[in-house]
Amino acid sequence: MKDYDVVVVGAGASGAFLAYELTKLKTNKKVLILDAGRKVENRLCPISTGKVDHCISCKPCNIMYGFGGAGTLSDGKYNITTNFGGDLHEYIGEDKAMELMEYVDDVLMKFDGGGDLELFSTDKNDLKTKCLRYDLHLLDAKVRHFGTDRNKIILQKIFDYVKGTIDFSFSTLVKDVNYEDDHYLISTDKEVYRAKHLVLAAGRSGSKWIADICNKFDVGLKSNRVDIGVRVEVPAEVFKHITDEVYEAKIMYQTKQYNDVVRTFCMNPYGQVVTENTNGILTVNGHSFTDPKLQSENTNFALLVTNRFTEPFKNSNEYGESIAKLSNMLGGGVLMQRFGDLVKGRRSSERRMKKSFTKPTLNATAGDLSLVMPKRQLDDIIEMIYQLDKIAPGMGNDDTLLYGIEVKFYNSVVDVDEKFETSQNRLYCLGDGSGVTHSLSQASASGVEMARILNEL
């Protein structure tokens, strides 16, 4: 059995930045990072390489698992803000959270070659005022968009930087954890490791596993939120005046009918809509490239309705999964519908899709989202689309494409203190798997902070 000072489960955004910071600090700790996925260079999604045109549920999914985690093949959009993307500031304070996210940005820029990639900001324009005229609320943020292509190269360089200091074991699924003689015994599908400190950084893909470990060690957990919605795709011109200014606009709206909050999320100018596989359930997501040769003519983003549940219901994620499963059942994966068909109460068919002026970037099944999504959320989304049409005319066109279901799962929030330590001694949880963060910037920042804490021990 190999002994370590620290074992980290997950080499995702938080694990990678933890490794970076410990390397930079020239740590004297013996650290091992275990990840169920592969190294960056071996992470290829067969859809993006053109081998297949739909998700074939690879195990492990290269989009979600491997060095850099869900971030590596993502759009690489780093939002420097505490207005969304997690609650890191509630644990470590607003100033420190912002400082760490700025630090992460500096590191990424350094590995990007110190170039002049634009940092978009909501401060520099009057979009906020325009939105307010229609009761739409633009959230303040700075955002750096690296794009899927550039992001992957940066992550590869980070790995090259840390690999001499930190031990890694890839394609290694951590199965169980036990506690004996003041040490953690970490059982994987290969061997058992022993460590004084154990960090759970297993992200969204490992959230169920984290919940099991927390239950085993009596660590508190709560889960009461899930966001459900669709991914919208429109010709890029419709949102160009907004995306050119801020790249990504996080706009919130409270519907008149139900008083529910609907928001735009993950905006991808000239991007692609993609399928995402979370534990075998197919949902929809989006990304875009910085290289103009790889860009599409469309902009996509999610419209999400926030659902918060009260007692006795405890598993909000299962609610989201059940709805996504319905769309998988009817569409064999992701369903797609023209907005015009949805409001007219008819399904989109192959024939109607062929006539659409907006050409889909994802090969999804044309169908009827009203058979899948509860009426309340669907009404909320329709109301939001008409509202957005006032600041982005064309949004409410018949050919606006809606893909479903997009689900934003919120991992159960693990009870941790300001050092990410649980009630179980020297058991830490950070990143998205802890429920504390929900974004690249905040997850990476939590990794940097964890490294500094561990290095001081």
Ligand X SMILES: Cc1cc2nc3c(=O)[nH]c(=O)nc-3n(C[C@H](O)[C@H](O)[C@H](O)COP(=O)(O)OP(=O)(O)OC[C@H]3O[C@@H](n4cnc5c(N)ncnc54)[C@H](O)[C@@H]3O)c2cc1C
- By beta-carbon proximity to ligand X, the closer residue of 203 and 320 is 203
* Shortest reach from residue 414's CB to ligand X, in Å: 12
* Shortest reach from residue 84's CB to ligand X, in Å: 9
Query: Do the beta carbons of residue 367 and residue 331 sit within 8 Å?
Result: yes
All residues at 6 or more sequence positions from 444 whose CB lies less than 8 Å from its CB, including other chains = 13, 14, 16, 17, 71, 78, 101, 104
CA distance 240 to 297: 11
Helix (H) or strand (E) holding 89, with range, is helix 88-92
* Shortest reach from residue 67's CB to ligand X, in Å: 7
* Shortest reach from residue 176's CB to ligand X, in Å: 10
Give yes or no for a cis peptide into 292 (omega within 30° of 0).
no
* Shortest reach from residue 380's CB to ligand X, in Å: 23
- Token pair 């804490």 is at which residue? 453
CA distance 93 to 369: 41
CA 13 to chain CA centroid, nearest Å: 10
- By beta-carbon proximity to ligand X, the closer residue of 342 and 451 is 451
| Residue nearest to ligand X as judged by C-beta position | 12
Residues that bind ligand X (CB under 6 A): 9-15, 34-37, 63-66, 69-71, 74-77, 79, 85, 173-174, 201-206, 209, 276, 285, 287, 431-433, 438-441, 443
* Shortest reach from residue 145's CB to ligand X, in Å: 8
Q: In terms of Cα–Cα distance, which of 412, 420, 409 is closest to 8?
A: 420
* Shortest reach from residue 265's CB to ligand X, in Å: 10
All residues at 6 or more sequence positions from 144 whose CB lies less than 8 Å from its CB, including other chains = 77, 78, 80, 105, 108, 109, 117, 118, 119, 120
- By beta-carbon proximity to ligand X, the closer residue of 353 and 436 is 436
* Shortest reach from residue 164's CB to ligand X, in Å: 21
- By beta-carbon proximity to ligand X, the closer residue of 15 and 367 is 15
Rounded to the nearest 10 degrees, the angle between the axes of helix 147-162 and helix 94-111 is: 90
Half-sphere exposure of 47 (CA within 13 A, CB side): 20
Query: Do the beta carbons of residue 186 and residue 192 sit within 8 Å?
Result: yes
- By beta-carbon proximity to ligand X, the closer residue of 102 and 389 is 102
- By beta-carbon proximity to ligand X, the closer residue of 248 and 399 is 248
- By beta-carbon proximity to ligand X, the closer residue of 85 and 333 is 85
CA distance 286 to 273: 4
* Shortest reach from residue 447's CB to ligand X, in Å: 7
Half-sphere exposure of 229 (CA within 13 A, CB side): 26
Give me the sheet containing 225-235, strands edge to edge: 137-138, 251-254, 261-268, 298-308, 225-235, 401-409, 335-338, 365-366
- By beta-carbon proximity to ligand X, the closer residue of 210 and 378 is 210
- By beta-carbon proximity to ligand X, the closer residue of 79 and 422 is 79
